[in-house]
Amino acid sequence: MIAGEPSGDRLGAALMAGLKQLNPGVTFSGVGGPLMQEQGLQSLFPMEELSVMGIAEVLPKYFHLKRRIAETAQAALAAKPDAMITIDSPDFCLRVASIVKAALPDFKTVHYVAPSVWAWRPGRATKMARVIDHVLALLPFEPPYMTAAGMSCDFVGHPVVAEPLATPEERALMAGDGPLILALPGSRRGEVTRLAPVLGQVLARIKAAHPTARVALPTVRGVADLVAELTENWAFKPQIIHDPAEKRAAFAVADVAIAASGTVSLELAANDCPMVIAYDMHPLTLWLMRRAALIDTVTLVNLVSDTRVVPEFIGETCRADLIAPAVLQLLENGAGPQAEAMRLTMERLGKGGEAPGLRAARSVLNFLKG
């Protein structure tokens, strides 16, 4: 099993738990983070080494990543497993799968998280089918794209629908006067470096209207030091959160969130927290992605609910003077149409059904049985 970032670590851990439930004798090896390690994985190296996104950001680490790709592929071949499950992080994972398949064409490969070919670069599915046999899809509309490319695929639901919500005791951890604002600048160092200064400027503008506001900033271990450094001079001193119970409480109690684009929008939707999405990246990466884009929104809540009610500020519009008014409007008027979009998103992702990790595990075992 190979995961390259915190969202993949969560997916992998839930899948591992499901596999252990259905097949108690299962064992694991590969690359993963703390959650996968809790489920019994001994990681070949720290997962955080792979949490790099964007062409311009990857280039300085190219040779190191290339060595890690070769090392991981050799470890997979040496382990002789029943299957290799790669989790998101396609730039790394699919290169590992390519080496493994070249050495052993019958080696069974599963990829967890279908490539977003409906969003950009539709040819990726056909390319992926050369090295991947079976796909676990998070979104209900993805399987036809994968089967058309030549892979088997199951929609297994998104794990966000099964993640625990805050208990009343946990919610009490965030009790206080004034509105609570979630600041979520991302889980990669490049994201945090670009977004934290912008979020700081947004909060400075919000302070004039809401001087008693409080700010919570859940983070992950790979960027915790950078977050502490970049938020030192914010207008509101944020409560930097590492504890999972405090994070659940913050998501449950927050009045609004300013978040980087990605899976976090679904976590916010699961907690009925209205949001504004902000994202920036290297200009070259942004230019290339825009040239290839097939959609007009990057926010998963907008996509799954088939609405455009979550405001986005991407690239050149990722500016405090544009973001702050959108945040203030949510603070003053509440979620509005976002509330229905968030409810619909959770329903379409499998809320109320079997846990996605268990569905994913069953899909993997059925695939292995042929």
Q: What is the pLDDT of residue 2?
A: 97
Q: Is residue 163, in this structure, part of any structural domain at all?
A: no
Q: Does the residue 322 lie in any domain?
A: yes
CA distances from 263 to 5, 134, 171 (A): 12, 22, 22
Q: Which residues of the chain fall below pLDDT 50?
A: 53-55
For residue 263, tell me if it sits in a domain: yes
The pLDDT of residue 192:
94
164 DSSP 8-state letter: P
CB 160 within 8 A of CB 347: no
Q: What is the pTM of this model?
A: 0.78
Sign of the dihedral defined by the CA atoms of residues 3, 86, 154, 299, in that order: positive
CA distances from 70 to 6, 17, 55, 230, 246 (A): 22, 28, 20, 35, 39
For residues 340 and 356, state if they share a domain: no
Residue 234, both tokens = 């914010």
242: domain CATH number?
Answer: 3.40.50.2000
pLDDT at residue number 7 = 84
Do 276 and 201 share a structural domain? yes
In a domain, 172, yes or no: yes
Tokens of 154: 């199951």
Q: Which domain holds residue 123?
A: 2-157+351-369
Same domain membership, residue 102 and residue 191: no
Predicted confidence (pLDDT) per residue in 75-96, tens digit: 999 999 999 999 999 989 999 9
Same domain? 196 vs 263: yes
pLDDT at 289: 75
Burial class (CB in 10 A: 0-12, 13-18, 19+), 119: middle
Residue 137 and residue 175 in one domain: no
Whether 202 and 298 map to the same domain: the answer is yes
Report the pLDDT value the prediction gives residue 47, as an integer from 0 to 100.
92
Total number of domains constituting the chain: 2
Q: What is the pLDDT of residue 59?
A: 62
Domain presence at residue 162: no
Handedness of CA 14, 95, 297, 218 (dihedral sign): positive
pLDDT attached to residue 27: 97
Give residue 220's pLDDT: 87
Residues 247 and 283 in one domain: yes
Q: Are residues 334 and 254 in the same domain?
A: yes
Give the SS3 label for residue 227. Answer: helix
Residue 229, domain member (yes or no): yes
Q: Is residue 33 part of a domain?
A: yes
Quick one: pLDDT at residue 44? 96
pLDDT tens string 314-349: 999 999 999 999 999 999 999 999 999 999 999 999
